[in-house]
Amino acid sequence: MNAQEDAAGLAAGRRHFLDLNEASSADLRAILTDSARRKAARAGWGAAAAPDEDAPLKGKMLAMIFEKSSTRTRVSFDLAMRQLGGATMVLNGAEMQFGRGETIADTARVLSRYVDAIMIRTFEHDKLLELAEAATVPVINGLTDKTHPCQILADVLTFEEKRGPIRGKKVAWLGDGNNVCASFIHAAGQLDFELAVACPASLSPERDVLDWAEKTQARVSVTRDPAEALMGADLVVTDSWMSMHDPEHTRIRRHNLLSPYQVDEKAMQVANPDALFMHCLPAHRGEEVVNAVMDGPNSAVFDEAENRLHAQKGVLTWCLGAI
């Protein structure tokens, strides 16, 4: 989106946050800066839900649609909106006419008459896109099976508060080239860091995401060798190998495929000595990561989880024109 389109979209109340590659590098940096500033301003505050001093979204309402279960996304967006002075309503996709008796487009048009922004956590990425196309208020991607942009903003925020600017650093991704990995690929191009993905061939990132990286000359590589990806890494990231919906035979097959990509003490020793470890959670301890790493001195997983709140605040203020 160029500056003219962005201004027109904001004037119409439609500055969407759908994927990292659709926002400009400058906008992503503005979101991260605002997130860090707001976190610092609340240092030492006791009342988690007390509004920020400026409360920029006072009187605003965020609708949160959940078709997938959630802990961090639900709590962080809810609390973020409260701290910004606004309010939320939670909508369960299974209890709505969402995509069944009523079209997604019509749902978007109706919700746009009631609320100031919509966050959706869903399976099919096309649902997100259809919702955004028809809505007249900003739509935020809380997660789809294709991407998870809000998570990566929290990861970058966490890295930068512990190690300084991520630009020029190396991130190693081990495991499934899934939705979180896809958003890391987008972030590598937009925020100018190197990303080395180590994964089985059958679980490589989607072709269109890799094509985008190649077209934009993002520093992204894919290897089958975990040691190659880990060498010189400043940050090591993984994600769950399994989904709660996977049948037993799928779980066994995926475990066999992914076991060489487990993040254990030996893996971390290949990375730089001060390399951080991150995982978006929930983690299956003993599978994709061992306890010694998860609970080790270089682990930032719970800081990362906390920073979902602060990154979400940056996204919300950006979408609603407060930055």
Residues with active-site annotation:
121, 148, 151, 239, 280, 308
% helix / strand / coil in the chain, to the nearest 5? 45, 15, 35
User: Are the CB atoms for 195 and 222 separated by under 8 Å?
Assistant: no
Location of structure tokens 């995926």: 254
Name the burial class of residue 44, with classes exposed (0-12), middle (13-18) and buried (19+) by CB atoms within 10 angstroms of its CB: exposed
Identity at 260, one-letter amino acid code: P
Name the burial class of residue 201, with classes exposed (0-12), middle (13-18) and buried (19+) by CB atoms within 10 angstroms of its CB: exposed
Measured between alpha carbons, how far is 247 from 245 in angstroms, rounded to an integer? 6
Location of structure tokens 């990292």: 20
Name the burial class of residue 121, with classes exposed (0-12), middle (13-18) and buried (19+) by CB atoms within 10 angstroms of its CB: buried
User: Are the CB atoms for 230 and 271 separated by under 8 Å?
Assistant: yes
User: Are the CB atoms for 106 and 126 separated by under 8 Å?
Assistant: no
Measured between alpha carbons, how far is 323 from 321 in angstroms, rounded to an integer? 5
Measured between alpha carbons, how far is 78 from 305 in angstroms, rounded to an integer? 14
User: Are the CB atoms for 135 and 14 separated by under 8 Å?
Assistant: yes
User: Are the CB atoms for 129 and 18 separated by under 8 Å?
Assistant: yes
